[in-house]
């Protein structure tokens, strides 16, 4: 039988990246003591007021079809939120409501790039970025970030990789997996590259409310860049609600109108009862984000402190729910290390190769477990590293 070319384009970009995670889950289900530090699922529940708002909306009949663009109440709430943040009027016609940031990314790439185009993406990168780019027929062009420079954006490196086929820059700040937060100057410098070559900026801002200290900078907030910026975000991280699958696109009105048929062809709106809860969520600061920021920052310090002095080197994040650990000192790359750590010590971490070539000798550690569990994982990682050194 014949299959569409997209199945070939995505054949090596599916669940295989999470193989260690899946194996760890299987081991735990079989009774093995496994500490799971792989995926970013917040360890606090979503705000009770959101759960109740969603339940009440469902009880009162908010379970019918939605508009293709999204529910009016949520569109208005997003317009108010972004107008206040950006300091200029942003209308409901500048948003599309979709089930989560992943869907928003897919819609954006389908609508902004096509066959033969190129998209510049910082390496390391979130594991699904290459897939959404390839699904549109475009090619991802990695722009390596230097670990020695703290994985900071290098606008000159982006500029050097622009070709006649480049159509967009996919920007992620706060960044997954490094936890680096782009400064306003860095965002503006990337914007200068985009403007010089008439490129779109697709800005993934899902970790915006999880910055440990300091401000958040968005290209959408820059008047000179707003007309070429498409923002994707959701309440998955900020409100500890990844399973609700509630996200949005913010864009220039013309871009939102052009992307609307793409979104409608896929799913025709999000769920009204979830939209009602999301409208409440975006109307003000998250009730749980502050707690998560403090916890994740403290756990990053815990990880760095407990692993200091050995063959494992921690990169302390500035935001988010992950930390990177350089395992090159063990003599293993990230893939071999993650597999061996799981087998030998029952600690499940993500190999850095799932996030690009720069992290070949790194692993990503989720900070979304209680302090005691993370401390126990650190003890196991230290013992594992010591055993490798003495072997």
pLDDT digits (tens, 9 = 90+) for 318-374: 999 999 999 999 999 999 999 999 999 999 999 999 999 999 999 999 999 999 999
Q: What is the mean pLDDT of residues 81-91?
A: 96
The CA angle 370-246-66, to the nearest 5 degrees, is 155
Domains of the chain listed by start with CATH number = 5-45+288-390 (3.90.1150.10), 63-282 (3.40.640.10)
Exposure string of 358-388, with b = 16+ CB inside 10 Å and e = fewer, is bbebbbbbbbbbeeebbbbbbebbbebbeeb
Q: What is the mean pLDDT of residues 16-38?
A: 93
Query: What confidence tens digit (pLDDT) does each residue in 136-169 have?
Result: 999 999 999 999 999 999 999 999 999 999 999 9
- pLDDT score for 13: 78
Burial tier of 262 (Cβ tally within 10 Å: 0-12, 13-18, 19+)? middle
Give SS3 for 20.
helix
Asked if the model's pLDDT at residue 78 lies above 70, the reply is yes
Mention every residue, 6+ apart, whose C-beta is less than 8 A from residue 353.
333, 334, 335, 359, 360
- pLDDT score for 270: 84
Q: Where residue 10 falls among pLDDT bands split at 50, 70, 90?
A: confident
Q: What is the mean pLDDT of residues 372-382?
A: 98
| High-pLDDT (> 90) share of the chain, % | 93
Q: Where residue 134 falls among pLDDT bands split at 50, 70, 90?
A: very high
- pLDDT score for 356: 95
Give SS3 for 384.
helix
Give SS3 for 55.
helix
Q: Where residue 120 falls among pLDDT bands split at 50, 70, 90?
A: very high
Query: What confidence tens digit (pLDDT) does each residue in 236-294 have?
Result: 999 999 999 999 999 999 999 999 999 999 888 789 999 999 999 999 999 999 999 99
Mention every residue, 6+ apart, whose C-beta is less than 8 A from residue 162.
120, 193, 197, 199
- pLDDT score for 146: 97
Asked if the model's pLDDT at residue 11 lies above 90, the reply is no
- pLDDT score for 267: 86
Of 213, 214, 212, 255, the closest CA to residue 231 belongs to 255
Asked if the model's pLDDT at residue 216 lies above 80, the reply is yes
Q: What is the mean pLDDT of residues 106-114?
A: 98
Mention every residue, 6+ apart, whose C-beta is less than 8 A from residue 320.
40, 174, 175, 176, 179, 207, 210, 237, 296
Q: What is the mean pLDDT of residues 107-135?
A: 97
Q: Where residue 50 falls among pLDDT bands split at 50, 70, 90?
A: very high
- pLDDT score for 325: 98
- pLDDT score for 14: 67
- Count of helices and strands (H, E) across the chain: 13, 12
- pLDDT score for 17: 78
């Amino acid at each position: 039988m014949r299959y569409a070319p997209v199945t070939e384009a995505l054949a090596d970009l599916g669940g295989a990246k999470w193989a260690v995670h899946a194996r760890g889950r299987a081991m735990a289900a079989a009774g093995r003591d496994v500490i799971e530090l792989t995926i970013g699922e917040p360890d606090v529940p979503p705000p009770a007021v959101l759960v109740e708002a969603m339940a009440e909306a469902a009880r009162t009949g908010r379970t019918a079809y939605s508009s293709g663009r999204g529910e009016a109440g949520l569109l208005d709430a997003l317009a108010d939120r972004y107008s206040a943040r950006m300091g200029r009027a942003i209308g409901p016609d500048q948003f599309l409501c979709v089930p989560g940031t992943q869907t928003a990314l897919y819609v954006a790439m389908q609508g902004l790039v096509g066959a033969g185009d190129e998209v510049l993406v910082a390496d390391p990168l979130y594991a699904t970025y290459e897939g959404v780019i390839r699904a549109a027929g475009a090619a991802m062009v990695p722009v390596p970030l230097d670990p020695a420079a703290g994985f900071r954006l290098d606008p000159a490196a982006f500029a050097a990789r622009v070709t006649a086929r480049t159509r967009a820059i996919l920007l992620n700040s706060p960044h997954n997996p490094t936890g680096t937060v782009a400064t306003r100057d860095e965002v503006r410098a990337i914007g200068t590259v985009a403007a010089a070559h008439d490129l779109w900026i697709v800005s993934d801002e899902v970790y915006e409310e999880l910055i440990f200290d300091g401000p958040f900078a968005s290209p959408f907030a820059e008047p000179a860049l707003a007309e070429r910026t498409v923002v994707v975000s959701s309440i998955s991280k900020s409100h500890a609600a990844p399973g609700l699958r509630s996200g949005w696109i913010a864009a220039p009105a013309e871009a939102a109108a052009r992307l609307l048929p793409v979104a409608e062809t896929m799913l025709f709106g999000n769920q009204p009862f979830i939209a009602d809860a999301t409208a409440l969520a975006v109307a003000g600061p998250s009730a749980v984000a502050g707690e998560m920021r403090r916890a994740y920052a403290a756990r990053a310090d815990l990880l760095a402190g407990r692993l200091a002095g050995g063959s494992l080197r921690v990169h302390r994040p500035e935001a988010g729910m992950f930390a990177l650990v350089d395992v090159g000192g063990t003599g293993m790359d990230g893939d071999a290390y993650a597999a061996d750590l799981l087998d030998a010590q029952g600690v499940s971490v993500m190999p850095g190769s799932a996030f690009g070539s720069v992290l070949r000798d790194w692993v990503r550690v989720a900070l979304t477990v209680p302090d005691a569990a993370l401390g126990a994982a650190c003890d196991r990682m230290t013992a594992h590293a010591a055993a490798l050194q003495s072997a």
